[in-house]
Amino acid sequence: MLKKLFQSFRSPLRRTQHKRSTPEVLNSSQHSLQRAQFSRYAVNIVERLQNAGYQAYLVGGCVRDMLLNITPKDFDVATSATPEQVRAEFRNARIIGRRFKLVHIHFGREIIEVATFRAGHPQNDEEEDTNQSSRNESGRILRDNVYGTLEEDAQRRDFTINALYYDPVSERILDYANGVHDIRNNLIRLIGDPTQRYQEDPVRMLRAVRFAAKLNFGIEKHTAAPIRDLAPMLREIPSARLFEEVLKLFLSGYAADTFEMLVDLQLFDPLFPASAEALEYNPTYTHTLISEALINTDLRIKQNKPVTPAFLFAALLWPALPKRVLRLQERGMPPIPAMQEAAHELITEQCQRIAIPKRFTLPIREIWDMQERLPRRSGKRADLLLENPRFRAGYDFLLLRESAGEQTDGLGEWWTDYQDANDSGRREMIRELGSKGDAAGEGPKKRRRSGAKRKRSAADASGAAGE
């Protein structure tokens, strides 16, 4: 199941890590890349910077992906020019960032990112200029604006497969870290000492998993070895940054494999602590529900169908919800308020770890709330639910719960048939529910006492928590 993670363990070839001052140079006859494959805007930027006397190359993911016949999602440029010098060359350029200062050059909707060559950080705190670079006590880099040479830039990149520089003018690849070798051998390998590199930026652990899942590569054993021990360091990462990283992990078309690797490397816990706990006490159901949701997400992405982070987060967090609802009910809270309070508590806690924006937390709660409403179908309720803008997401989520093994007394099939039925068919389905005497999940009605007024029965929201 974890083929991607462990394929490199079969016959690991450990090469001594050392800094190379001169790259391996691959001429056009030694690789498959051609300048016409790359963004003409990115190529133009490289040419203009070189004509202005600077070094400039296409770098990183776009070079890696082109070597693997994958269409890059963007094109990055690395140069010896400072951000201010780049901006002086291009009127359509804008300097962004504080932690890592970059230049974005705009060509209509396309943005080319240009980064100045970086150098490693001083090991002696007294040599560190806090305006250019800084670390916290654990070694995490807080600011990274120490400029350097091309050779230094190559060594401070994270993975060997990302330390490739392509010159579209000479059509040569400069390889400082044996990245081409690792691409040919399907390996994710960190440059330098893995423990130190993860301490500099714990998000590199997530990037290792993401690249392994995306490229169908194995993680080299020395690169994988420290991850389980260092995984708790992800708790130090700002929650807003983790939100962006989680979207990259789960909305790139490889979410199911990514989830398996995150769990195995103990990276899922610091990202989703409540769901990780649910994975411990109810492993089969939790694993099945999350896996099914991610498989469906991957399929929709491959089919170019829209996906929403709200549904994704609703699925990732749902297994942690029923236990909380039950706990509140045991304290005497009615079912519906218990559901609402548990949802609020769970989302609030999760946002401390991953800053899910309000535009997604509100739909999450609406999808969950729909799970409590879908069983109540008597009278005009079914038609009103069909008109609800969240009905489709709620209905899909109900089917997801059923596919994970939740027992809903055929509720998903009923709603499937109801949507397909004509008006008279729908009225008959509602009458059949009424004839069963259970008011379609509303609970038994109270008996009327002689001479007493009819009282409305209370709604039973036990289905809200999937219990």
42 strand-pairing partners:
none
CB 288 within 8 A of CB 405: yes
Closest by Cα among 233, 169, 179, 243 to 205: 233
137, 167 in Cβ contact below 8 A?
Answer: no
Write the DSSP symbol of residue 12: -
- Selecting among 65, 158, 257, 298, the annotated active-site residue is 158
Give the CB-side neighbour count of residue 101, counting CA atoms within 13 A.
21
Active site residue 264: no
Q: How far apart are CA 290 and CA 404, in angstroms?
A: 9
Separation in Å, CA 60 to CA 63, 249, 305: 6, 18, 28
Distance in angstroms (rounded) separating the CA atoms of residues 254 and 77: 26
- The Cα 285–Cα 202 span in angstroms is 30
> What contacts 176, CB < 8 A, 6 or more positions away?
20, 23, 24, 151, 154, 155, 163, 165
Is 74 catalytic? The answer is yes
Q: Where are the beta strands (DSSP E) in 27-118?
A: 56-59, 76-79, 93-96, 102-107, 110-116
- Token pair of 149 as six digits: 């040479």
DSSP structure class, residue 253:
S
Of the listed 74, 264, 383, 396, which one is catalytic?
74
Give the position of tokens 């990112």: 113
- Mark whether 76 is an active-site residue: yes
| Helix locations, 331-390, DSSP H | 335-353, 358-373, 381-387
Residue 314 near residue 368, CB atoms below 8 Å:
yes
Alpha-carbon gap, residue 109 to 405, rounded angstroms: 45
Residues noted as catalytic? 74, 76, 158
